[in-house]
Structure formats: structure tokens, C-alpha cells
């Protein structure tokens, strides 16, 4: 799964991370975990750490899926370096498949309803500087820079996604808690909404009060669920988004797709 090393500076502080990752979706979790461990002694705030972790997830997922095509013999190289004023991260694949210029604009027309294609947009939104280049050898390199804001962080922990259901005045309310990310979590959301649409449930409200983290795969699962429910003649709405999730929907223009409420009672009343 992993080959890599952390190099030390002369004063013993870690300043460089190098990882060689397998071309499989699980590498996104591993890359995020290790980059956040690497960042623990830095001056990044909690919000900035979340942004770095999410940008690394997106870039590794892009390298694994779109660059290397999940081919086992190809690897993903992740490098991170702490500098005086910023962290610089590069993610490099060994494939020939990914061309950033060929990626359709995810903010235009029918692309809003696609379940994929938002990763590069999210990376550019989350990091201060982003560049991409095709290497002389096969492979694409994404270079990302995050500047220090000199604020402190308190740490935190990741939660696996949990979904519970309740009925309020004929509306099925799904309370989601945790992170909606590539893997089991996004699959759980997608399959839950698909099953509900198949059972003929027409009024569905997603309560995201306890969801603080959504990646592009998570957004894709919400879009897929929206499509399934809408095609079955139902409605799906969102309530209680935190600032980060709301901003993510705004940047990706999904705020124009989903009806979003700040009050559960108002959301319940809005269903026709």
C-alpha cells in the first residue's frame, strides 16, 4: 500500500514528506491521514487543515482514477514540503489518461448534474496556488500551495458517516452525521437515496447539521440521489448546512440545483 519517508531538518523538525501510493481509492484516506499528521506541528488553523486534507484527497483521487486508471502497476507520488511561509504539495501520477484542458466546466449546463468532474475546481478553491503540468515522462503533476495564516488549531477526529431516518408530517428526514467522502460514505448516501426513490418516497429532507466535510465524490452522491428522486417524481431538499458545506455548494453552483433551508420547520412546510 505505502512506501515513503519523512525527512528531518537539522533541528529535528519534520519538514518534508514523500509517499509512494498504490493506485486504489483507499489511498485517498491514507494520503489525507498522513498529510494531516505531517501538519500537526504547523500554524495552520483547523479550517485550513481541513482544506489541505480535502485538496490532497481530491488530487490523489484524480491521480488514481483519472490519471492511472486504477492500474495496479502504476503509482502515485505525493510530496509535501514545509517552507517559511507556506506548505507546498505535489501529487504526480504515472498515467497518460488525464488532460485537465479536456475536463468540461462543471459549472455550465448539464455538467451541474454530473456525479463527477468537480475535483480540479475544488482543489483550486481550497488552495492558494495551484498549477498543473504534463511531465516529460508519462504522468501529470499537480502542485498546490497553502500559505500560513499564523492561527492555531485545536485538533479533531474523523467520523464515519451515519444516517438515521425519521418521519415529520409526511416528510422523511435523513439525519446525516460524519463525512461524505469517496468510498463507503458516498456509496451509502447514493444507495440510500436510490432505495428510497425505488420505494416511492416522494418527500426527502437531508439534515446536514452534523456533516462538516464533503469531497467531490460526496457531492456526486448527492447529485446522483437528487437525480434518482427527481426521476421518480419526488423532491429532495437540504437543511442546516454549515458555512463550509454551504460555500462548497455555492462554488460548485449546486446551490442552484438543491433547495436549501436554514430551518427544519420551514423546510418541512415547503414540500408541496
Q: What is the CA radius of gyration of the chain?
A: 20
β-pair type (75-82, 259-261): unpaired
CB 127 within 8 A of CB 51: yes
**pTM exceeding 0.85:** no
CB 59 within 8 A of CB 123: yes
For residue 90, what is the enclosing H or E element?
Answer: strand 86-92
CB 43 within 8 A of CB 151: yes
Q: Which CATH number fits domain 2-147: 2.60.40.10, 3.40.630.40, 3.30.565.10, 3.20.20.60?
A: 3.30.565.10
SS3 label, residue 42: coil
Which pLDDT tens digit goes with each residue over 150-189?
Answer: 554 445 555 679 999 999 999 999 999 999 998 899 999 9
CB 177 within 8 A of CB 186: no
Fold (topology level) of 162-270: Transcription Regulator spoIIAA (3.30.750)
Residues pairing with 140 in the sheet: 134
Cell numbers describing residue 68 = 492511472
pLDDT above 90 for 239: yes
Greater confidence (101 vs 228) lies with: 228
Rounded to an integer, the average pLDDT of 223-227 is 95
| Residue 271: CA count within 13 A, CB half-sphere | 23
SS3 label, residue 206: strand
pLDDT above 50 for 15: yes
pLDDT above 70 for 75: yes
CB 147 within 8 A of CB 130: no
pLDDT, averaged across the chain: 88
pLDDT above 60 for 261: yes
Which pLDDT tens digit goes with each residue over 78-137?
Answer: 999 998 889 999 999 998 766 777 778 888 888 889 988 899 999 999 999 999 988 777
β-pair type (86-92, 140-147): antiparallel
Phi-psi region of 106 (alpha: psi -120 to 50; beta: other; left: phi over 0): alpha
What is the structure's pLDDT at 5?
Answer: 47
Rounded to an integer, the average pLDDT of 56-63 is 94
Q: What is the residue extent of each domain of the chain?
A: 2-147, 162-270
Beta-carbon contacts of 158 under 8 Å, excluding residues fewer than 6 positions away, are 178, 179, 213
SS3 label, residue 130: strand
Cα gap 149→18, rounded to integer Å: 24
* Maximal C-alpha separation, the chain: 66
What is the structure's pLDDT at 179?
Answer: 92
Cα gap 70→75, rounded to integer Å: 9
What is the structure's pLDDT at 43?
Answer: 79
- DSSP conformation class of 164: E
What is the structure's pLDDT at 100?
Answer: 74
Residue 9 confidence class, pLDDT cut points 50, 70, 90: very low
Closest by CA to 235, choosing from 266, 196, 209, 262, is: 196
For residue 18, what is the enclosing H or E element?
Answer: strand 14-22
Amino acid at each position: 500500500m505505502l512506501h515513503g519517508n519523512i525527512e528531518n531538518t537539522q533541528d529535528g523538525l519534520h519538514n518534508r514528506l514523500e509517499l509512494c501510493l498504490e493506485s486504489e481509492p483507499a489511498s485517498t484516506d491514507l494520503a489525507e491521514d498522513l498529510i494531516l499528521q505531517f501538519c500537526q506541528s504547523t500554524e495552520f488553523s483547523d479550517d485550513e487543515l481541513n482544506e489541505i486534507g480535502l485538496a490532497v484527497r481530491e488530487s490523489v483521487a484524480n491521480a488514481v482514477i483519472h490519471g492511472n486508471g486504477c492500474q495496479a502497476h502504476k503509482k502515485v507520488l505525493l510530496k509535501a514540503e514545509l517552507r517559511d511561509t507556506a506548505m507546498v504539495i505535489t501529487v504526480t501520477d504515472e498515467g497518460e489518461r488525464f488532460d485537465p484542458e479536456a475536463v468540461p466546466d462543471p459549472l455550465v449546463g448539464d455538467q451541474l448534474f454530473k456525479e463527477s468532474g468537480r475535483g480540479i475546481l475544488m482543489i483550486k478553491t481550497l488552495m492558494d496556488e495551484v498549477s498543473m503540468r504534463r511531465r516529460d515522462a508519462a504522468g501529470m503533476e499537480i502542485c498546490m500551495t497553502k500559505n500560513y495564516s499564523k492561527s492555531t488549531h485545536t485538533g479533531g477526529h474523523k467520523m464515519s458517516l451515519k444516517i438515521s431516518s425519521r418521519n415529520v408530517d409526511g416528510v422523511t428526514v435523513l439525519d446525516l452525521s460524519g463525512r461524505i467522502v469517496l468510498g463507503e460514505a458516498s456509496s451509502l448516501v447514493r444507495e440510500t437515496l436510490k432505495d428510497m426513490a425505488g420505494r416511492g418516497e416522494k418527500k426527502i429532507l437531508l439534515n446536514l447539521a452534523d456533516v462538516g466535510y464533503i469531497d467531490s465524490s460526496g457531492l456526486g452522491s448527492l447529485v446522483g440521489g437528487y437525480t434518482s428522486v427527481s426521476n421518480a417524481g419526488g423532491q429532495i431538499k437540504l437543511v442546516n448546512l454549515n458555512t463550509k458545506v454551504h460555500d462548497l455548494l455555492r462554488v460548485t453552483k449546486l446551490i442552484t440545483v438543491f433547495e436549501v433551508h436554514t430551518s427544519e420547520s420551514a423546510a418541512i412546510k415547503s414540500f408541496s
